[in-house]
Structure 1
Amino acid sequence: MASNKNKLAFLSMPAPASYVAGLGRGASGFTTRSDIGPAREGPSAEVIAEAQARRGEEPDVDPDQFQDPDNEYGLFAGTTYEADDEEADKIYEQVDRKMDSRRRARREAREEEELAKHRAERPKLQQQFADLKRGLAVVTDSEWENIPEVGNLTRRKRRRDERSFVVPDSIVVGDRAKGEYENSLDRRQQDHGGFETPADSGTLTNFVEIGQARDKILSLKLDQVSGTASTSGSASSIDPKGYLTSLDSQVIKTEAEIGDIKRARMLFDSLIKSNPKHAPGWIAAAALEEHAGRMVAARKLIKQGCEQCPKSDDVWLEAARLHQSDDAKVILANAVQHVGQSVKIWLAAADLEHDTKGKKRVLRRALEHIPNSVRLWKETVNLETSPADARILLSRAVEVIPLSVELWLALARLETPENAKGVLNKARKAVPTSHEIWIAAGRLIEQEAYAADLSEDKRGEELERVDKTLAAAVRALRAHGVLLTREQWLKEAERCEAEGAPSTCEAIVSATVAMDVEEEDRYTTWLGDAEAAEARGRVGTARAVLAYSLRVFPDRSGLWRRAADLEKAHGTRESLDKLLARAVECCPQAEVLWLMWAKEKWLGGDVPAAREVLEHAFDKNSESEQIWLAAVKLEAENGELEVARKLLVRARTVADTERIWMKSAVFERQQGQTELALKTVSTALLKYPKFAKLYIIQGQIYQAAQDYSTARAAYAAGLKAVPKNVTLWVMASRLEEADGKSIRARALVEKARLVNPKSDVLWAEAIGIEERSGAAAQGKALLARALQECPTSGILWSMAIWAEARPQRKARSVDALKKCADDPLVICTVARLFWAERKIEKARQWFDRAVSANPDIGDAWGWWLKFERQHGAAGGDKEVITRCIGAEPHHGLTWGPIAKDDKNRGKSINEILELVTAALQ
């Protein structure tokens, strides 16, 4: 036992320091990484200190690093602490406290400043969310309960369980048959020989019975509520028939709206308590309760408001609105006791009456309290059905309120014309500063003149009284210091025109249009006034302004032409004829007025009258080229070819201009007299060798006869004489194309571009030559060069748009609009693009824009007509034709050649438009 104990004791003893297990048996032992540490060297002390400084941490200080290595307990550990040492320590401590008390205030202030700066730069989390925490104080329990659960905010798709299980066939079949309906009879025979239907087995749902049961339950509930209300001794407030409708009309307020109502109620409650005499606060508080559906509270609040603010008519009116009709009458009766001078209170009380008699009674009682209210008198008069009673009331009204212009005018309208004059005279004396009374007097005179059966002269004399009355009105008003501006008078004139008094409108314009206008600015100012009035649709005012301007400037042909255009657009043929007759008397040398007059006679079907007008025009303008050519056109269009030829011969003798010679040659060519036309051209070229159109006519005649060499010589002579004429170069180039010599045509256009740089027509012709010869790529390259030289050419941009592939055309059109936004060719091209995209309304708008930009381009009218016939409504094409006839276009890439073709001579604009529309592709 003792040996075992010694053995156990030995085993529990610690091993010697140099002991290695198994060394006696030859084992050398081994070492692991945990015994020697990591293979990589760790950071040095300097690196650790630098990292701590960057993080703002203080370095760890070893308390033993300042110990004396030879003294284990400190530097003075072996000395004795005596009484003098204690006294010295106390003295040092007192000195430290004294010095610390001196610096404490500055140190504490500096520390507080540093701390505040640190907290501003790095606030604590609780400070950052302090305002949100304060906001949590007003969160209700229901809002806490409605806070949603935290969802997946990581934006990662959660892994779904991809496992699947095989569903038994019994479940699939049972679920399929659960909602199935039988739609056929069961073939199983019964004992009585009939068929068993699924309805007998109960598999079908009877929706009719369900609906009847629902209606029965609802009616029982309504009966219960109705019976409960009737047994309580009061009438039922539930209408069984309108119950469902009323349920649909109820608006369920959300929790946010309820919260807003509560906050607003608190604010209004504070407002009316702090300032109970503030009437709008009571009104707003009552309106809030009404909005919340608490009518009893709203009426209670407004009642308190009436007690607190009895002098505010708005509070009484709000109280009347919130109550029923009978209660509102009582409220307004009380209101009259406090605010008897309020017109609104009396009018509201009258509105509560259901019969006219009651309204009259209330309003007359109101007039006893407020006899000087114009509105009360007007309302009272409006209730009278008899003119005699209304006249009596108005007579009393103007006695009580003699300064009311409205009442005087109303009384004058009810009186007979004779009595109305007396009324207006009294009104003018009572209110000498009112221009409305003077205007009413003028309208009265005009009304009498048109009502009486008078001759034209007598009526004219009566209407002159209107001019005199308005002229006297301006003088009288100026004498009393009333100075209305020109604009105000013109607005009054337009109002008279709108109300059917044109003579009064003209009288006002005649009396006032010259006010405050400098003498040198009269022409432009009056012309601007007329154009502005016409733009507003006041044609009578514009006509009156132009008539006065023509009396001042009778020799201005431009003014006469503007007046003629106005009459042509808005007047009658007779009024236009009279105006043009006066115009040629005042401006006999104005050729355009003679031509307009002759054309209107011709369009009216009176050809002899048109000839007579042109004869008078010859007497005044014997050498006028335009009049001679108009006479020739008149005779030629009406089939008098010999007369037209004689007129041309005489015109060449009298006027002898290059245009007359050119028209003579064209006339002979149209009649088929080719030799005579060439002779006329040759004679004309001797007189006018620089007139390019003569060379063009000569070349066209030879080209039509297939004599290309002579035509080429004619064009060459023309190009030598007039090298700057672009049309001549184009005609020469097309001659070469017609002869099959595209190379010479291309060379001619190239030479033409050198002579006439920056000509878009020549560039377009060169591109056309390449396209017609099959060199589309070369044409596209030329188009790019052309756009560089002529960046604002509409014809080139139009060609560039169509040269692109369909997807790129829209982008190309945007570039074109940036360069030349107002060019009609580009606008028409954009309209065609919208047309191709089936954007009908946009296409119509852009076609309208194109013809408005330049109505003289006939191709735009043709495209628009083609569009309307394909996509427009019924009558849309007729409107386009009418507008085209009024515009009278003369130019266009397709319109020009068709209109000038000899085969189309004498055709109307409508017929030319049809040909152009058919030719456009």
Structure 2
Amino acid sequence: MTTPPQALVNRNKKHFLGVPAPLGYVAGVGRGATGFTTRSDIGPARDANDVSDDRHAPPAAKRIKKKDEEEEKEEEEDLNDSNYDEFSGYGGSLFSKDPYDKDDAEADAIYEAIDKRMDEKRKEYREKRLREELERYRQERPKIQQQFSDLKRELVEVSEEEWKNIPDVGDARNKTQRNPKAEKYTPLPDSVLSRNLGGEATNSLDPSSGLASMVPGVSTPGMLTPTGDMDLRRIGQARNTLMNVKLSQVSDSVTGQTVVDPKGYLTDLQSMIPTYGGDINDIKKARLLLKSVRETNPNHPPSWIASARLEEVTGKAQAARNLIMKGCEVNPLSEDLWLEAARLNPPDTSKAVIAQAARHIPTSVRIWIKAADLEEETKSKRRVFRKALEHIPNSVRLWKAAVELENPEDARILLSRAVECCPTAVELWLALARLETYENARKVLNKARENIPTDKQIWTTAAKLEEAHGNVAMVDKIIERAISSLSANGVEINREHWFKEAIESEKGGHIHCCRAIIKNIITHGVEPEDQKHTWVEDADICTNQGAYECARAVYNYALAALPGKKSIWLRAAYLEKNNGTRESLEALLQRAVAHCPKSEVLWLMGAKSKWLAGDVPAARGILSLAFQANPNSEEIWLAAVKLESENHEYERARKLLAKARGSAPTPRVLMKSAKLEWSLNDTSAALRLLDEALKTFPNFPKLWMMVGQIHEQLDECHKAFDAYNSGIKKCPDSIALWLLLSRLEEKRGLLIKARSVLERARLKNPKKDILWLEAIRVELRSNLKDIANSMMAKALQECPTSGHLWAEAIFMEARPQRKTKSVDALKKCEHDPFVLLAVSKLFWTERKLNKCREWFQRTLKIEPDLGDAWAYWYRFEQLHGTKEQQHEVKQRCLNAEPHHGELWCSVSKDIKNVRLNNEQLLEAVAKAVPIPV
């Protein structure tokens, strides 16, 4: 048996072959060999007894040596400036050797968020400081363009001739242009001119010069004279002709139709640019992603739609169509894909696409509606809808679309079929009922109630139908049955929904229906203790939405249930006064005083309504009845006196006041008695009545005022002073008495005493802005503006939210500072009518008419009882508005019936104007309005 050759090889192989050398091994050391070094080795050669090389050192020794080297590197710190960091110092961060883990990243994110938040907090202050520093810097070192701004403005006056004569500056960087030298002109010799004119051979081309080789047909040496066919001018002409020929060849094809328009070529190129303004790389990435989505899941329609829209956006309409059609082939049952394909294709192609879609998805409503939309003729649309209804007979949307295209008779036939196919569609039933006759409509609605017993709209439609045909008695019954039937069928009765239905019924003209709904729903779900509050709130909601009949129905039911509630009667009366007729108001008030005879307001409203209508005897009759119900009522006595005095029945008024003084001797009755005598110029009788009244009511300040004013009118200043002085002793908190005394002292020329009076008044009545305002005006009237300004500062410190003071402060400023002052006033008193009126006058001074009107409206929206605002607005419209605008302001003022305002009261309280009505009073106050400047 022979040994195989492979076994021999393995047996003869040395065991150390392929094995790494032992540590410290040097080849041939037993034969006296020594180690040697090469360029790749480090260190000198070593003997066998030398310390072993690092490459063969044990791992522990290697680690120790590496650590020593790192320590040496750390000790040798690099102190170069490039190695310095503001936070870490030299040599990098303290923690640069540590690993950067998730906790470090989270901590850095938190610190960064905190730094960002703190930076945002200080951002506004920092930007403001930067702007201020920049402005300060610009003021100290203005730009060159700012220094020459005045010279730039003067350039407008430079004439065209001067512009032309401005010399060229030249290039300042070029020495020759910066210091130009005189140009040297060398005259041409006559030979040059003669060559150009005479046609000598010196102006010809030499064929040996190389230019002749460019000219075809010139191969022999010779001279080219200008009379020949190849001079330089003709070469240029030939070149231009050749260019024109080439352009003509490009622009026209063989058939003569223009292919390229040389003039509009760039414009055509512009139209070929895609409308997408994004990056082309983003488009490529999107294409790849969408292609991956399509290939991964080809049955996902949104991926095909997104791909097609991407191509559409980038301007590749045909590629988009191809993609969407391919998607339709893959997903033939996706209506979204078919609709998108119909949208992307032109109209003719869209019809074919949508027809194919209808074959694949015959039950898709959207596809049939799209098919009808693509048709232009109404006849074709009808045909499409009828074909669609054959496939989808229970689609309410298709029935409605088909009915809209038909005439009334055909629509009625279609609807009769529609309600058979869709018996639960309320809209179809109601539409059919509208088209039918009265009898048939009732039958249709009955069938509808049988099929849909849970819908309230069918019931309300039936009620409206009965009302429209005069069968009012059935309306209330139908609504009552509706609520009971719906409750029996498990439908929740929602009061809000029914109130909305009532409001819609009123707006549709079905008054009886809305009243029936209110009557049957108003008590539903309302506890007895909450009835008044809930019903008043319901009436307010109806009034705010303009549903006055619904509000009347609520009040009628509430008054029938709670007839003794005076507040409900008053609300109902105000509703009739503002939105009803005089007859309805008077009828309501008659019922009101029958149930609430002790309510003076209701009696007075009834008497005033009769008086405004011109029926004075009826007004007297109402007041006489009011006397019987309220024998000692001050309001009714004074109303009767006012009625007689307004109608110039002064003797009747005197008798009434005499009776009133006997039965109800109140301070107001006594004051009105004296005022009547004063208005009739019987000052002695008035003073006698006032003296008697002051014995009984010395603490009523208006009596002292009237005594003083009557003495002032009689030029008895000492007696007036005594009256005012006695009045402030009895009534120290009456601001009006202090003002009258101060003005009397000022009128007498005693300015120091006027100041003293006001100072005493402020001590007795601290923080009263009117006293501060009068003191400031005293100084202004004396032309002491500096003292007035200092007093204004003190006043605003004591009364920082006073609209009177801020309004005065605005116009005490110089014109440039008024706007800033008005902003401060609005910050302190945002909704104060006096500040808003001052801002309106400020816009008036600046001739901003629309702004002025807008702020007048804001003022009167906040305080419609401020007569001064009405007078200023009316005066403004007299100067800057139209007749219609003036009439509108006057009517709104008469409806508001204002009673307050400094200027308004100064005119209305004047004894000479006591008989003026509101319209005359508005005219008088408007004439007294000072034009703001």
Residues 102 and 759 (structure 1), Cα distance of their counterparts in 2 relative to 1, 3 Å cut: closer
CA offset at residue 253 of structure 1? 4.0
Distance 2:561 2:717 in 1: 61
| Structure 1 residue 392 corresponds to structure 2 residue 413 | yes
1:476 aligns with 2:437: no
Give the whole-Å Cα distance in 2 for the aligned partners of 1:501 and 1:396: 30
Deviations 1:781-807 (A, max 9, x none): 222222222222211222222222222
Give the one of 813, 818, 834 matched to 1:804.
813
Q: Quick one: which amino acid aligns to residue 345 of structure 1?
A: I
> Residue 88 of structure 1 aligns to a residue in which SS?
coil
- One of 299, 308, 312 as aligned partner of 1:286: 308
Aligned residue number for residue 329 of structure 1: 351
Contact 2:304 2:327 in 1 (8 A): yes
Describe the superposition over 1:376-405 as per-residue Cα deviations: whole angstroms up to 9, x where unpaired: 1111211211x2322222112112211111
* CA–CA separation in structure 1 for the residues paired with 2:527 and 2:675: 51
Cα distance in 2 between the residues matched to 1:170 and 1:894: 90
Deviation at 1:255, TM superposition (A): 6.9
Number of the residue aligned with 2:240: none
Q: 1:263 to 1:92 in 2, by over 3 A?
A: closer
1:744 aligns with 2:753: yes
Q: How many residues align?
A: 735
- What is the aligned partner in structure 2 of residue 65 from structure 1? none
Counterpart of 2:787?
Answer: 778
Equivalent position SS for 2:57: helix
Q: Structure 1 residue aligned with 2:773, among 759, 764, 767? A: 764
Give the CA deviation at 1:368: 1.5
Partner residue in 1 for 2:435: 414
**Pair 1:901–1:396, CA change in 2 (3 A):** same
Mapped partners of 1:170, 1:716: distance in 2:
108
Deviation at 1:375, TM superposition (A): 0.7
Distance (whole Å) between structure 2 residues aligned to residue 780 and residue 829 of structure 1: 18
Q: State the partner residue of 1:681.
A: 690
Query: Which residue number corresponds to residue 577 of structure 2?
Result: 568
CA distance in 1, matches of 2:332, 2:660: 96
**Paired position in structure 2 for 1:347:** 369
1:255–1:620 distance in 2 versus 1, CA, 3 Å: closer
Q: Tell me if the contact between 2:274 and 2:314 (Cα under 8 Å) persists in the aligned partners.
A: no
Which runs of 5 or more structure 2 residues have no equivalent in the other structure? 1-45, 74-92, 101-144, 146-170, 186-244
Deviation at 1:109, TM superposition (A): 14
Structure 1 Cα separation of the partners of residues 806 and 550 of structure 2:
44
Counterpart-to-counterpart distance in 2, 1:682 and 1:357: 97
Give a deviation string over 1:881-911, Cα, whole Å, max 9, x none: 1111111111111110101112212212222
1:144-171 CA-partner distances (Å, limit 9, x unpaired):
xxxxxxxxxxxxx998558446699999
Alignment of 1:619-638 (within 5 A): 619-638=628-647
Q: Counterpart in 2 of 1:79?
A: none
Alignment of 1:119-130 (within 5 A): none
State the partner residue of 2:467: 446
**Which residue of structure 1 aligns with residue 221 of structure 2?**
none
Aligned-partner Cα distance in 1 for 2:427–2:174: 87
| 1:846 correspondence with 2:855 | yes
Q: Which residue type is aligned with residue 381 of structure 1? A: V
> 1:88: which partner in 2?
49
The residue that corresponds to 2:700 in the other structure is 691
- Shift of residue 259, structure 1, vs aligned partner: 5.0
Structure 1 unaligned blocks of 5 or more: 1-84, 122-156, 172-216, 231-235, 450-461
409, 422, 425: which one aligns with 1:401: 422
Offset at residue 424 of structure 1 (A) = 1.2
Give distance in 1, aligned partners of 2:737 and 2:433: 75
Aligned: 1:373 with 2:395: yes
Pair 753,336 (structure 1): closer, same or farther in 2 beyond 3 Å: same
1:272 aligns with 2:320: no
Aligned-partner residue type, residue 280 of structure 1: P
Would you say the 8 A contact 2:772–2:795 is kept in 1? Answer: yes
Instruction: Pick one of 360, 363, 378 that aligns with 1:356.
Output: 378
Task: Please state how far the C-alpha of 1:262 moved relative to its aligned partner.
Answer: 4.0
Aligned match for 2:58, one of 97, 106, 115: 97
In structure 1, give the amino acid aligned to 2:589: L
Which residue does 1:431 correspond to in 2? Answer: 452
Trace 1:484-633 onto structure 2 (pairs within 5 A): 484-633=493-642
Equivalent-residue separation in structure 2 for 1:574 and 1:747 (angstroms): 58
Q: Deviations over 1:716-759 (max 9, x none)?
A: 22222222222122222222222332332222222222222222
The one of 702, 708, 711 equivalent to 2:711 is 702
My pick for the range that moved more, 90-99 or 598-607, is: 90-99
How big is each residue's C-alpha offset from its partner over 1:795-840, in whole Å with a ceiling of 9 and x where there is no partner? 1222222222222222222232232222211111122222223333
CA contact (8 A) 2:412 2:432 kept: yes
CA contact 2:711–2:720 (8 Å) conserved in 1: yes
Q: Deviations over 1:615-666 (max 9, x none)?
A: 2222222222112211211121112222222222122222222111111110
Task: Deviation per CA, 1:458-495: give whole Å up to 9, x if none.
Answer: xxxx5353233223222221221111422222222222
Whole-Å separation in 2 of the counterparts to 1:563 and 1:736: 52
User: Partners of 1:109 and 1:348 in 2: how far apart?
Assistant: 80
The alpha-carbon deviation at position 595 of structure 1 amounts to 1.3
Q: CA deviation at 1:265?
A: 3.1
1:730 equivalenced with 2:752 (yes/no): no
CA contact (8 A) 2:382 2:402 kept: yes
Worse-matched range after superposition: 425-434 or 808-817: 808-817
Q: Residues 6-25 of structure 1 correspond to what in structure 2 (within 5 A)?
A: none
- For residues 276-306 of structure 1, the C-alpha deviation after alignment (integer angstroms, 9 at most, x for no partner) is 1111221222223233333322221111011
Give the 5 Å matches for 1:645-684. Answer: 645-684=654-693
Matched, 1:905 2:914: yes
TM-score (norm 1): 0.73
Aligned-CA RMSD value: 3.7
Task: State how 1:84-233 maps to structure 2 within 5 Å.
Answer: 86-89=47-50, 96-97=57-58, 99-100=60-61, 160-161=173-174, 163-164=177-178, 227=255
Q: Distance in 2 between matches of 1:787 and 1:609?
A: 54
Cα 1:398/1:92, change in 2 over 3 Å = closer
Q: CA deviation at 1:437?
A: 0.8
Partners of 1:272 and 1:247 lie apart in 2 by 33
Q: Which moved more, 1:371-380 or 1:320-329?
A: 320-329
Identify if the C-alpha distance between structure 1 residues 88 and 861 changes in structure 2 by more than 3 Å, giving closer, same or farther: same
Is contact 2:54–2:62 with CA below 8 Å preserved after alignment?
A: no
Alpha-carbon distance in structure 2 between the residues aligned to 1:688 and 1:403? 80
1:867: how far off? 2.5
CA distance in 2, matches of 1:116, 1:689: 92
Report the AA paired with residue 728 of structure 1. Answer: L
Q: Partner amino acid for 1:340?
A: P
Structure-2 separation of matches of 1:873 and 1:246: 57
* Distance in structure 2 (CA, Å) of the matches to 1:164 and 1:260: 53
Report the Cα offset of residue 431 of structure 1: 0.7
Say which SS state the counterpart of residue 377 (structure 1) adopts.
helix
Deviation at 1:105, TM superposition (A): 12
Cα pair 2:172 2:178 within 8 Å, conserved: no
1:23 corresponding residue in structure 2: none
Partners of 1:105 and 1:464 lie apart in 2 by 111
